[in-house]
Chain A
Amino acid sequence: MRNVLPVLTVLCGILVIWYAAAVWMNATWVHDQAERAGVTVTWAEVIPETMAQERPLLPPPHQVAAELWQGITGQAVTSKRSLVYHGYVTFKGTMMGFGLGILTGVLLAMAIVRYRVVEMSVMPWAVISQTIPIVALAPMIIVVSSQMGLTGRDIPKAIIAAYLSFFPVLVSMVKGLRSPDQMQLDLLRTYGAGEWATFVKLRLPASMPYFFASLKVAVAASLVGTIVGELPTGAIEGLGARMLIGSQFGEPLIMWSALFAAAILAGLLIVGVGAVERMVRLRMGVPE
């Protein structure tokens, strides 16, 4: 709670800067138009003009807020014009990619912890895979997966999202599965526990804090992947597609509102993952 005041102060500061920048950036257009029309304008006339342009260079906050509000509440949530609908499409893609990423990350981590050869041959490539810009691969992923009979855009989108989100899970899970110390492992051995029992009873529970710590990073990465997948690669619906259409038709308000909708979605996802984490921790009896 003690953060509320500072955060609000900073937010106010951002708003002030934003308004000032909007006036400054949008004024050029007003001046140009006035020049083309052959009239001179004073600043008193320019400022209101910069606040309500149809295609502003930088829309002032209230215009974005109004467009966002209109996009969310202006129509039924199932309408194609609703940001809620497109947010849901993006959310679905994010979740599919997130799930796939978790699965890949956890399975790879298990193989790595169990087999030294997997660790030595795969781990360096996992690191390199993250240095390959996903946007370069995205069109290729779509082509190759459609060649494999995976038509539709959902699966390629999920693969792109998973490509970004599996890595944080992998790294944390490897750390987590290795976190039990020798004493604990020895104790399990005295109980006569086999490899599988050690895994289920000791390694897996011990890795949980690491796992959840990685989820917040992974879900954010998954959202970025989904939007990248929707943006230049056959965007049909979703927030990324709206950004593209907004850009193509020179409608900055559509772009900005999609951007802020994506920000809200990111916030909700992180809060959601945090809530699940707390629930699991309580169930497992981990002290706060």
Chain B
Amino acid sequence: MKRLLTGAFLAALATGAQAEDVTLQLKWVTQAQFAGYYVAQAKGFYEEEGLNVTILPGGPDIAPTQVIAGGGADVVIDWMPSALAAREKGLALVNIAQPFASSGMMLTCLAETGITTPADFADKTLGVWFFGNEYPFLSWMSQLGLATDGSAGGVTVLKQGFNVDPLLQKQAACISTMTYNEYWQVIDAGITPDQLVTFKYQDMGVATLEDGLYVMEDRLADPAFQETMVKFVRASMKGWKYAEANTDEAAMIVLENDQTGAQTEEHQKRMMSEVAKLTAGSDGALDVAAAEKTVATLLAGGSDPVITAAPTGAWTSIITDKALAN
């Protein structure tokens, strides 16, 4: 036990001493959703800044917030609702950059269920991801006045796994999909777009900010760490802009980094071209209006809000101001 703890201590010292090492924890498995970072690494953008970046893929049981709390990463990718909820739990996360300008999340329904507007959700079964991704959905439902606890007149919530089977097997009327991923799996499965009704969170006015870069607040006080993050954000955004302009090449770079070898070229190329649409509006700087709207959406959670008070200091522009200056 003692040796292990000492080891942890030494490891913590080591990361402090060599400030140019950066560990990035992704929110999910290696896929084009994170293409910008893989491109920045493959194209040497990080190296040009003098950074040695390690990219850790995520998975179903890996919470980026927990990884950074445990010192397993310097910077993590997370969705703002989940990061704000963690902040309320006492984990002081700060958004330093927001490569994704708009939300790619939507609810995809089978037209044959008769759903045409959100009001039709009542008494239907809806598939939702959990693990920190449920917050936007819960906020939306409580704004619609639909109970999610299974009571009459509300909606039945199903924790969907990692795929679109609940829709294909008709176990759910609607499921959560991302514009860049699951929606296309439904299409691939042989269902045509006109057999589907989709509700984009963006269009419904309940969009929350997705993939952003978060760091621990206390470390941000250290000028050396700030400097490293400036370099990291600058190089990452360069990676994103390159990926947007060269989607096919970016997808192939992602594929090369996929250690499971189970991802396909077809999926990743399509995902990349859809992700490019979401990152297109962002130069990395957080749109404060969008962040405030996220907070408002989350606070509007009725009886069971995701966060109870508007956060202070949950985002900062000090990194992006410097990163985008030159």
Q: Mark A233-245, 1 if CB is under 8 A from B, else 0.
A: 1111100011011
Interface presence of B224 (CB below 8 A): no
| 12 sampled A-B residue pairs with Cβ under 8 A | A36-B195, A86-B261, A143-B70, A146-B72, A147-B8, A147-B72, A234-B58, A234-B61, A235-B59, A235-B60, A241-B260, A249-B185
Interface presence of A119 (CB below 8 A): no
Query: Complex: how many Å from CA A248 to CA B260?
Result: 13
Contacts of A139 in B (CB 8 A): 61
Q: B59 and A236: CB pair below 8 A?
A: yes
**9 nearest CB pairs, A to B:** A80-B261, A149-B8, A248-B162, A245-B262, A81-B261, A149-B7, A148-B4, A234-B59, A139-B61
Q: B70 and A244: CB pair below 8 A?
A: no
Q: A149 and B10: CB pair below 8 A?
A: yes
Interface presence of B92 (CB below 8 A): no
Main secondary structure on B side of the interface with A: loop
Supplied contacts A149-B9, A151-B11, 16 more A-B pairs, CB within 8 Å: A36-B195, A55-B188, A80-B261, A85-B261, A86-B260, A139-B61, A142-B61, A143-B66, A148-B7, A235-B60, A241-B259, A247-B161, A250-B163, A250-B168, A250-B188, A254-B262
Q: A138 and B70: CB pair below 8 A?
A: no
Contacts of B57 in A (CB 8 A): 234, 236
Q: Mark B263-275, 1 if CB is under 8 A from A, else 0.
A: 1100100000000
If A149-B4, A249-B263, A250-B189 touch, whether A244 touches B59 (CB-CB below 8 Å) is yes
* A contacts with B, residue count (CB < 8 A): 37
Interface presence of A150 (CB below 8 A): yes
Q: A245 and B29: CB pair below 8 A?
A: yes
Q: B72 and A249: CB pair below 8 A?
A: no
Query: Complex: how many Å from CA A160 to CA B66?
Result: 20
Query: Complex: how many Å from CA A79 to CA B260?
Result: 10
Q: B163 and A245: CB pair below 8 A?
A: no
Q: A237 and B260: CB pair below 8 A?
A: yes
B-contacting residues, A231-274, CB 8 Å: 232-237, 241-242, 244-251, 254
Contacts of A236 in B (CB 8 A): 29, 57, 59, 259-260
Contacts of B161 in A (CB 8 A): 247-248
Q: A242 and B61: CB pair below 8 A?
A: no
If A55-B189, A247-B162, A250-B165 touch, whether A233 touches B62 (CB-CB below 8 Å) is yes
- Least Cβ–Cβ distance between B13 and chain A, in angstroms: 11
Query: Complex: how many Å from CA A36 to CA B191?
Result: 9
Query: Complex: how many Å from CA A82 to CA B162?
Result: 23
Contacts of B260 in A (CB 8 A): 80, 86, 235-237, 241-242, 245
Interface presence of B313 (CB below 8 A): no
Contacts of A86 in B (CB 8 A): 260-261
- Least Cβ–Cβ distance between B198 and chain A, in angstroms: 18
- Least Cβ–Cβ distance between A81 and chain B, in angstroms: 4
Contacts of B165 in A (CB 8 A): 250
Q: Pick the contact of A249 from B7, B259, B262 — CB < 8 Å?
A: B262
Interface presence of B258 (CB below 8 A): yes
Q: B29 and A248: CB pair below 8 A?
A: yes
- Least Cβ–Cβ distance between A279 and chain B, in angstroms: 35
Q: B70 and A79: CB pair below 8 A?
A: no
Contacts of A184 in B (CB 8 A): none
Interface presence of B197 (CB below 8 A): no
Q: A245 and B263: CB pair below 8 A?
A: yes
- Least Cβ–Cβ distance between B24 and chain A, in angstroms: 14
Interface presence of B5 (CB below 8 A): yes
Q: B261 and A79: CB pair below 8 A?
A: yes
A146 (CB) vs chain B CBs: closest residue: B72
A83 (CB) vs chain B CBs: closest residue: B261
Query: Complex: how many Å from CA A251 to CA B189?
Result: 10
Q: A151 and B72: CB pair below 8 A?
A: yes
Contacts of A250 in B (CB 8 A): 163-165, 168, 185, 188-189
Query: Complex: how many Å from CA A249 to CA B32?
Result: 13
Interface presence of A73 (CB below 8 A): no
Residue of B185, B192, B259, B267 with most chain A CB atoms under a 10 A cut-off: B259
A149 (CB) vs chain B CBs: closest residue: B8
Query: Complex: how many Å from CA A248 to CA B58?
Result: 14
A242 (CB) vs chain B CBs: closest residue: B262
A145 (CB) vs chain B CBs: closest residue: B4
Q: B189 and A244: CB pair below 8 A?
A: no
Interface presence of A33 (CB below 8 A): yes
Query: Complex: how many Å from CA A142 to CA B62?
Result: 9
Interface presence of B223 (CB below 8 A): no
Contacts of B7 in A (CB 8 A): 148-150
Query: Complex: how many Å from CA A86 to CA B258?
Result: 13
Interface presence of B71 (CB below 8 A): yes
Contacts of A150 in B (CB 8 A): 4, 7
Q: Pick the contact of B190 from A33, A79, A143, A251 — CB < 8 Å?
A: A33
A144 (CB) vs chain B CBs: closest residue: B70
Q: A234 and B262: CB pair below 8 A?
A: no
- Least Cβ–Cβ distance between A281 and chain B, in angstroms: 38
Q: B261 and A148: CB pair below 8 A?
A: no
B164 (CB) vs chain A CBs: closest residue: A250
Query: Complex: how many Å from CA A233 to CA B70?
Result: 16
B6 (CB) vs chain A CBs: closest residue: A149
B-contacting residues, A130-159, CB 8 Å: 138-139, 142-143, 146-151
Contacts of B191 in A (CB 8 A): 36
Query: Complex: how many Å from CA A237 to CA B58?
Result: 12
Contacts of A147 in B (CB 8 A): 8, 70-72
Contacts of B70 in A (CB 8 A): 143, 146-147
Query: Complex: how many Å from CA A82 to CA B262?
Result: 9
